[in-house]
Structure 1
Amino acid sequence: MKKFFALFIVANLGLSAFFIDTWLTHNPGSRAIPMITLFEQGTLKIDRYEKYTLDKSRINGHYYSDKAPLSTFITLPFYGMARLSGLEHLGPDRYPAYSRAYTQGHRPVYNDTFVFPGFWAYATGSLMCGSLPFVLILTAAAWMVRRVNPSVSPVWLVCLPFYGSFVFVYAGAFFGHLLAALLLLLSCILLKRGRPHFYAGLLLGAAFLAEYPVGLALPLWAVLIVVREKSVKKAAAFVGGFLPGLLANSFYVFIITGSPFSMPYSHVSHEGFAPMRQNLGFGLPQPEALWHLLVSPYRGLLFFAPFLAVVLVVFLWRKEKQLGTVALDYTAWFSVCFVLLFSSYYMWDGGYAYGPRHLIPVAVLLIYEGVVWVSRTKQPLLWFYSIAAAGVGMSWMAKSTVAFLADPAVSNPFFSIIVPEFTAGRFNPNNLLTMMFGLPPMAGVIAWPLLFVGLMIVLDRAYSRYSTK
């Protein structure tokens, strides 16, 4: 099976990195720019390039990234290799930036007026914090399906739900969501398998360094460990594992703010983000936000990850005997509380986003649990595959056009933005065929689904060949 999983990783790395984001946008920019200033000036201050991102803090007259630090520092050595090897000079002389201006049909305007040495900072970040975590999540799910029911090929069962969700739209983009989701998932897997709780806490601490809100899992899971395993000692080991991540972050924010307790988000410079200065932007849960985050075509989890909607319907219809165990399930507790947390966030919609981007950690946990559950149930897979395949079509159309940059002012972004952009042939040039070989964006748009289906068939046959070995 080692050969199968090696092929699985390589194939999915190519698929997930095919649409690699290098647009000059605010959230990725806040992670990429500190790498550039560290190499050019040896500082975390981003004063030289602060105009290229709104996601920044102003502290003592200087600008800094306001993001959790792990995504930047994980990518830093790979960006350094690109600089030192001379690859950086292969990037564009004038950086193709995404403008907030729109023409008719919400078409993004590409503007090459910026001269900015950021191409490889964005590209390496998109690979290390978008594509690679996505592939490792797929691999973890495939490994578990193989372990639970070897007779079911994990290729279609795992890949269709994940590619057929908004999670895939953020693969190949320099955010912290997927990196945090991967680390959170691995922590949860360890806890459910009863493996050393210290290492589960260590992984959760790393997830916290990638995206602060996932730290919510610490108290929730520590209590569940005590209740489920009747062991305060194991809960203490779990908390102890989390502490290195917490201390590392305290040191990082101390360097920036002068206090280990003053988060960069409390010093955001842009007035549009001013609510973050109080309670980091969190308040009381909003019923309207819950509706839109879970169901509606605006940002609904079940709309943008349709596989989960089918799993939920079948699970409830079957009146699963396992329903009672959900009350003590790590994934269930985290998912409910995390959704409630972000329903109280002042920018719960995620701004320019495709789907509920803040809920990517929840989506990853639920899709993972969903595919494992489906592999156990011996249910007919047609409905699961059909709906998941429709989701693949949706995410492919999004990647082909505006990617994750759907206007928050539009109430139904898929049908009001993505479908019109797609049918009008206004395609995203951020694909490998266009960037590497200068082919028209349409070539990349057509090539990806052909590549996806072809590689899935190859992987499925490889699994059949190696599954008995």
Structure 2
Amino acid sequence: MDRDWLRTRLGVFLVLLASYAYFWHSRDWNTASRLMLTYSLVDRGSLAIDGLENQTGDRAYFRGRYFSDKLPGYPLLATLPYAVQRVLGARPHPLNGPALAFWPSDYGITLATSGLLTAAAAVVLMGLARDLGASRRAAVLFALAYGLATPAYVYATLAYGHQASAFALLSSFALLARPTTRRDGLRTFLAGLLASYAAVIELQVGPVSAVLGFYLLGQCAARARRWDAIAYFGLGALLPALVMLLYNMLAFGNPLDMGYFHHATAQFAKVHSRENPLGLGGPDWSRLVPLLWGRYRGLLFYAPILALAAPGWIVLFAGRRWGYAVVSLAASAAVLGVNLAYPEWTGGWSTGPRLLVPLLPFAMIPVAAVLTASGRWGRLATAAAIGLGFCGAVLMLLFQGVGARLPQDVADPLVEVVWPLWRGLEALPRWWTGERFTRNLGGLAAGGFLDGLPASWQWVQFLPLVAFQVTGAAWMLSRGEPAPASPAATVSSGC
């Protein structure tokens, strides 16, 4: 076991998790819909959210009772950290009250699910980068760029299902991409379990789960795996599917029924239906450019490091890394295709293209391939990754600082809202729901000190976070590659 590499991976994980812990965003309908089911399950053992329905407009109404309109994957995942909080003394969520912007258990659940799984996904990406031939420094840079310089940073601090499903899909691929071992049955079982559970968290990532299934079929056809691996994968995939069918049966009386069919909010009932749960239509290609480019919802604007993805795919195909190339490209295309066909493609109140977030780890895989270059091209690729990553990290911090969710009717969120709020030179928008800056550990520690500062200087509450991130990144990047063993040491170890 390479303990130095293990410490480096642990360091990346802790830097990212601590960065996510710094923020405590206010609740919104999307997060509350999932959280209310978790609270109802743990506090009362009920699938209905009666008494909590005022906390969200994302709700279903069936036979006189209220339910979450979301799939059960994320709320079920969140029951464990919430149950731990209750054992440690957390109060049950109050019933029949007005909507709350903050509740202490929201913070703990979000960090233990979205935050922890985003940091874990970055560590998985480090392993994939090393498998592709990236140096340790490049792998660290790569993981930090994913965790801090893409919208993954924002959604690691929100109780949406995007980061949980992204981790499950990426981990499933990582399990399948590893060489076969004696424990291949267990590995493929877990890969199937994760691929399927991702779709139980977010139904729209189902096509990516299918991509992973076809990847396994290709491995078996190429004799890289035995054919019985398909049975193990299928058995693992069956379990989450049964969980969802059981939830639907208990909540709505039919295993094929779901909350999307019973929306209590007219705005969403117009999109989702029994015939078309996701409300998908034919692809609208006019959405392609705004989804990929521009300050409104452009992926390359909010995650500039992904500008290296296109040359990275060329490198992967040229190097005949077929599995990495085809799966990463197909998974990215599948998520993009669903978004092109979805009426609410803007993602509502969000930072960047919210519904493209599950493709981020797969679009990062070809970036790792670019960082494997050596010589002059390697230095250019590293410099480009550092520059693009720095720009993305600054942008994500700007959005994080003011609450991370900007309405879909704001054409230029950065220029119209985010930057003016950081400068403190303009009044809060009429639709603003909280303070100028989101609740965070630095601001809470500073207390009344910040109130005495001019609005244009209150951004100093984020300086401790930046100092911590820079110090942590510098320490890990300074470690470099291990020195090669001396001939004498080699002989000694051989004896």
Aligning the two structures, in what range does the TM-score lie when normalised by the shorter sequence? 0.7 to 0.9
Residue 290 of structure 2 aligns to a residue whose secondary structure is helix
Using the TM superposition, give the Cα deviation of residue 117 of structure 1 relative to its aligned residue in structure 2, in angstroms: 10
1:59: which partner in 2?
62
TM-score (norm 1): 0.86
Using the TM superposition, give the Cα deviation of residue 305 of structure 1 relative to its aligned residue in structure 2, in angstroms: 0.9
- Deviation per CA, 1:79-122, whole angstroms, max 9, x where unpaired? 23323323449x9x9xxxxxxxxxxxxxxxxxxx9575961331
Change (3 A) 1:354 1:116: closer
Q: 1:269 and 2:270 equivalent?
A: no
- Aligned AA (2:472): L
- Deviation per CA, 1:41-66, whole angstroms, max 9, x where unpaired? 33121121211101111111111111
Using the TM superposition, give the Cα deviation of residue 25 of structure 1 relative to its aligned residue in structure 2, in angstroms: 0.6
Q: Does the aligned pair in 1 maintain the 2:199–2:209 contact within 8 Å?
A: no
1:451: which partner in 2?
468
1:301: which partner in 2?
299
Using the TM superposition, give the Cα deviation of residue 414 of structure 1 relative to its aligned residue in structure 2, in angstroms: 2.1
Q: Does the aligned pair in 1 maintain the 2:171–2:194 contact within 8 Å?
A: yes
- Deviation per CA, 1:403-450, whole angstroms, max 9, x where unpaired? 1x1110122222222122222277423211223553636343232222
Q: Does the aligned pair in 1 maintain the 2:193–2:237 contact within 8 Å?
A: yes
Structure 1 range deviating more: 420-429 or 451-460: 420-429
Using the TM superposition, give the Cα deviation of residue 166 of structure 1 relative to its aligned residue in structure 2, in angstroms: 1.2
1:167 to 139, 152, 159: 152
Q: Does the aligned pair in 2 maintain the 1:218–1:239 contact within 8 Å?
A: no
- Residues of 1 paired with 2:214 and 2:44: CA distance? 45
1:216: which partner in 2?
207
Structure 1 range deviating more: 128-137 or 326-335: 326-335
Q: 1:259 and 2:254 equivalent?
A: yes
- Aligned AA (1:41): R
1:100: which partner in 2?
none
Note the 1:73-222 alignment, pairs <5 A. Answer: 73-88=76-91, 114=98, 116=100, 119-147=103-131, 148-150=133-135, 152-195=137-180, 196=184, 197-222=188-213
1:246: which partner in 2?
241
Using the TM superposition, give the Cα deviation of residue 357 of structure 1 relative to its aligned residue in structure 2, in angstroms: 1.2
TM-score (norm 2): 0.82
Using the TM superposition, give the Cα deviation of residue 238 of structure 1 relative to its aligned residue in structure 2, in angstroms: 2.6
Q: Does the aligned pair in 2 maintain the 1:36–1:118 contact within 8 Å?
A: no
Percent identical among aligned pairs is 22
Change (3 A) 1:54 1:468: farther
Residue 47 of structure 1 aligns to a residue whose secondary structure is coil
Change (3 A) 1:151 1:333: closer
Q: 1:344 and 2:341 equivalent?
A: yes
Q: 1:385 and 2:381 equivalent?
A: no
Q: Does the aligned pair in 1 maintain the 2:339–2:345 contact within 8 Å?
A: yes
- Residues of 2 paired with 1:206 and 1:413: CA distance? 33
Using the TM superposition, give the Cα deviation of residue 468 of structure 1 relative to its aligned residue in structure 2, in angstroms: 7.0
Using the TM superposition, give the Cα deviation of residue 282 of structure 1 relative to its aligned residue in structure 2, in angstroms: 1.0
Q: Does the aligned pair in 2 maintain the 1:20–1:172 contact within 8 Å?
A: yes
Q: 1:365 and 2:368 equivalent?
A: no
Residue 67 of structure 2 aligns to a residue whose secondary structure is strand
Residue 71 of structure 2 aligns to a residue whose secondary structure is coil
Using the TM superposition, give the Cα deviation of residue 194 of structure 1 relative to its aligned residue in structure 2, in angstroms: 4.7
Residue 282 of structure 2 aligns to a residue whose secondary structure is coil
Q: Does the aligned pair in 2 maintain the 1:30–1:67 contact within 8 Å?
A: yes
2:489: which partner in 1?
none
2:8 to 4, 18, 21: 4
Q: Does the aligned pair in 2 maintain the 1:209–1:245 contact within 8 Å?
A: yes
2:430: which partner in 1?
none
Q: Does the aligned pair in 2 maintain the 1:429–1:435 contact within 8 Å?
A: no
RMSD between aligned alpha carbons?
Answer: 2.9
Change (3 A) 1:298 1:132: same
- Residues of 2 paired with 1:9 and 1:328: CA distance? 26
Q: Does the aligned pair in 2 maintain the 1:352–1:408 contact within 8 Å?
A: yes
Structure 1 range deviating more: 385-394 or 280-289: 280-289
Using the TM superposition, give the Cα deviation of residue 456 of structure 1 relative to its aligned residue in structure 2, in angstroms: 0.8
Change (3 A) 1:218 1:393: closer
Q: Does the aligned pair in 1 maintain the 2:33–2:68 contact within 8 Å?
A: yes
Q: Does the aligned pair in 2 maintain the 1:129–1:175 contact within 8 Å?
A: no
Give 5+ residue unaligned stretches, structure 2: 426-434, 451-457, 486-495
Give 5+ residue unaligned stretches, structure 1: 94-112
**Misfit runs of 4+, over 6 Å:** 465-469
- Deviation per CA, 1:337-366, whole angstroms, max 9, x where unpaired? 221112111211111111111111111211
Using the TM superposition, give the Cα deviation of residue 30 of structure 1 relative to its aligned residue in structure 2, in angstroms: 0.7
Q: Does the aligned pair in 1 maintain the 2:128–2:174 contact within 8 Å?
A: no
Total equivalences in the alignment:
443
1:435: which partner in 2?
444
Change (3 A) 1:227 1:46: same
